[in-house]
Amino acid sequence: MYTRTPSVLQLIWTREDGWYTATDAEGTAWSIDRHPTVPTRQNTSGNPDWREKWWLHPLTDEDPETHETCLIVTSAPWNALHRHPEVLRYADVLVAGWRDACWRIPNGTATSEQVMIRGEERAPLSALLGTPILVPPELLLYETLRAARFGSRAYAAEEALRQAGLPIPKVERR
């Protein structure tokens, strides 16, 4: 069953001396700072990328191991993230526990929709940001027809198994 994805809480990011801080609803302090990728996370088969990127860290964690698991907010060479509110909103999504699922879905625009994941949940990034992209009716029709084709193929396969007297595999249905 479809449920609307609620948008992520917007944090108030404060600019410090070259970095940004915010506190989430649970009281955890976060920072976005700029540094190169640590050597252990570099691509060892090719050329390492030593450019500085903006990274999200728990502010209270002074452990150097934090750099092994911190998340990239942006690789853009900007000095002032407050001039790019979409980047700070993306940091809000990361703070809420969402991660990039590394795949995209068509959304009727020139660029496809980035999918985010949190546990077993999946959501389009635009919905998490609070600005969902409306999908053209033609694309919805295409996806509905595609699903119907897959359904009819599955039904034909089950019928062939029944006629052959073979067991039908148990499939999780939603």
pTM over 0.85, yes/no: no
Which tokens in the block code for residue 129?
């940001």
Scanning the chain, the segments in alpha helix (DSSP H) are 66-69, 85-95, 125-129, 137-163
Identify the band that residue 1 occupies on the pLDDT scale cut at 50, 70 and 90: very low
Task: Give the separation between CA 81 and CA 32, rounded to whole angstroms.
Answer: 9
> CA 74, CA 3: separation in Å to the nearest integer?
30
- Per-residue DSSP letters for 22-42? EE-TTS-EEEEEEEEPPGGGS
Name 48's bridge partners. Answer: none
Residue 38 has pLDDT above 50, yes or no: yes
**Burial class, 96, CB count within 10 angstroms (exposed 0-12 / middle 13-18 / buried 19+):** middle
Which ranges of 25-136 would DSSP assign to H, the alpha helix?
Answer: 66-69, 85-95, 125-129
pLDDT of residue 174: 52
The predicted structure's pLDDT at residue 49: 80
